[in-house]
Amino acid sequence: MQSEHERRAYLRAMGIDVWVPRDQVDDEPAPVETETQAGPGEMGWDALRAAVAACERCTLHESRTQTVFGVGNPDADWMIIGEAPGAEEDRRGEPFVGRAGKLLDEMLLAVGQGRNSVFIANILKCRPPNNRDPSQDEAAACRPYLERQIALVQPGIILAVGRVAAQQLLQTDAPVGRLRGKVHQLGATPLVVTYHPAYLLRSPSQKRKSWHDLCMAASIMAGGTA
Ligand code: SF4
């Protein structure tokens, strides 16, 4: 658990000067299901990871350097879902690296969550060429993997980061500005939408809104009503 001092330091790093909520909770970790064969809907972690690494369900397998499965705590309370790997992620095999990843880390640390305590995944496991948006076909082809990851993690809260993740998860074309600031449901799991850190780097004036989104998510995890 962070000290108040540390939390404020992370907020300062984000360029946000606000009061920090003290509430943090240690919910009981959800059980991890055992591994089976068959489709993603029944796989355990090892089989799922292997299936993604070998996947050719869409044409993105032709141009990827490697798949980007996801990273973090398989029993996480918080699940962070972004769009798709970029060039650096494709090279390193890890989601949210580089400047945007660093900002995401700072945002999460500000609410007491380290990169290793959450689980971070993307809508797509392979990089779209030139960082274009995922197509509907690609998102649909990759969705069973993400759904299985969510089922295995059983998070208490999902944070959809950025327009593509929010629109794909909620199956809407509404802009992030309309989707953030409220609590959605993905099945039984509460879902909060916030801006992508790459966008926040370009538009730092929006950081305060993102901070409110994270506070709302933290409040839900603390048993509040946001
Ligand atoms: S993006 Fe998803 S569905 Fe497409 S090849 Fe990669 S892992 Fe398979």
Atom of ligand 1 nearest to the CA of 52: 7
d(CA 140, CA 224): 33
DSSP three-state, residue 182? coil
Q: How far is the CA of 137 from the centre of ligand 1 (A)?
A: 10
* Confidence at residue 41, expressed as pLDDT on a 0 to 100 scale: 83
With a 6 Å cutoff on the Cβ, whether 52 touches ligand 1 is: yes
Q: Are the C-beta atoms of residues 208 and 18 closer than 8 Å to each other?
A: yes
Question: What token pair was written down for 17?
Answer: 């000067």
What is the Cα–Cα distance from 9 to 115, expressed in whole angstroms? Answer: 17
Q: Which of 66, 67, 122 to mutate to test the pocket of ligand 1 (most atoms within 8 A of CB)?
A: 67
At which residue do the structure tokens 């992508």 appear? 196
**Residue 139 vs residues 101, 147, 166, 173: alpha-carbon distances, Å:** 22, 12, 12, 14
- Per-residue pLDDT tens digits of the chain, which is 226 residues long: 555 655 565 556 555 655 445 454 444 444 444 334 457 888 999 999 999 999 999 999 999 999 999 999 999 999 999 999 999 999 999 999 999 999 999 999 999 999 999 999 999 999 999 989 999 999 999 999 999 999 999 999 999 999 999 999 999 999 999 999 999 999 999 999 999 999 999 999 999 999 999 999 999 999 865 5
Which DSSP state fits 34? P
Q: For residue 124, how far is its CA from the centre of ligand 1 (angstroms)?
A: 6
Give every CB contact of residue 105 below 8 A, 6+ residues apart in sequence.
96, 114, 115
CA of 157 to the centre of ligand 1 (A): 25
> Does ligand 1 come within 6 angstroms of the Cβ of 165?
no
Residue nearest to atom 2 of ligand 1 (CA): 142
**Residue 177 has which token pair?**
């500005």
